[in-house]
Structure 1
Amino acid sequence: MAEQAAAAPDPAPEAEPEELAALEPPPAEPQAEPTSARPTDPDAPIGFTTPLAIGGPEVEGRSIAQLIDGSPLFPPIEGLPEELWKEQKCSACHNWTQEALCEQGKTYQSNEEALSKQHPLGGGLKRALKAWAAAGCN
């Protein structure tokens, strides 16, 4: 038995503190808290400059004001050459104002066919404009 004890490996030597630190996982990144600037409730009121909580990934987290200053996801007119639309701001061709977009949102309230057509900035934009208009375009 004494031979077995002698043949057993010695316990691991004490590790230095810096060696232990290297073995520990890095601290977790702090998670960002939701703020009032980014609604997480899909029933939250929609404002022109309030980040959207509805509409899908292409619009959520961005406001109507930010979206109208963006670039289309696909050509606004079928067959339009890429150099005329890709990575171009929609404001290059449209002079959108809050008032004009409010009126457009009102048309989506009564015209389901127009609402069902895909929009180059994402289908969620039309739903957001409709909801914004229904809330009084504030």
Structure 2
Amino acid sequence: MHAPHPARLPQRVVVTGPTGPALDAFAVRVALALDLPAVGAADLGAPGAAERLAAFEGWLLVVVDDAPPAVVLDRAELVVHAVPEARGALRGLVRRAKRRLLADAADEAPAWFAAVEAQRSPDVARLDGPDEVEEWLTTLAR
């Protein structure tokens, strides 16, 4: 697990991971722990929506496949890639098979996340599996 505890609680967070109810539940838990409104990437389709979101002081953006808009990523204080389901869970196996059929990587962080991780700014957390997710969430409550 690569998940440093932030020096202060972040106010602008991007969450990514394999699509599904487990990621949605994880994002809601992070938003509640940080007292932030959660926004889905689909909500940023209107012209100027990304700029308006980036201008706010507190938000959590959930993205799955595509990179978040640059204006949002530039203001993010934390980017989290989480795989909240146990590997080998039926839902995960079906999703992985589907992605492999579509020639996409299974449960791997998207390329844009790897680029952010390499830059070391903003802070990043890579959480692989429910145990790491739970451990990291407890650090937010401290």
Per the shorter chain, which TM-score range? Answer: under 0.3
Compare CA radii of gyration and give the structure with the larger one: 1
Relative to the length of structure 1, the TM-score reads 0.23
Relative to the length of structure 2, the TM-score reads 0.23
Q: Which has the higher strand share?
A: 2
Which structure has more relative contact order (CA 8 Å, sep 6+)? It is 2
Q: Which has the higher helix share?
A: 2
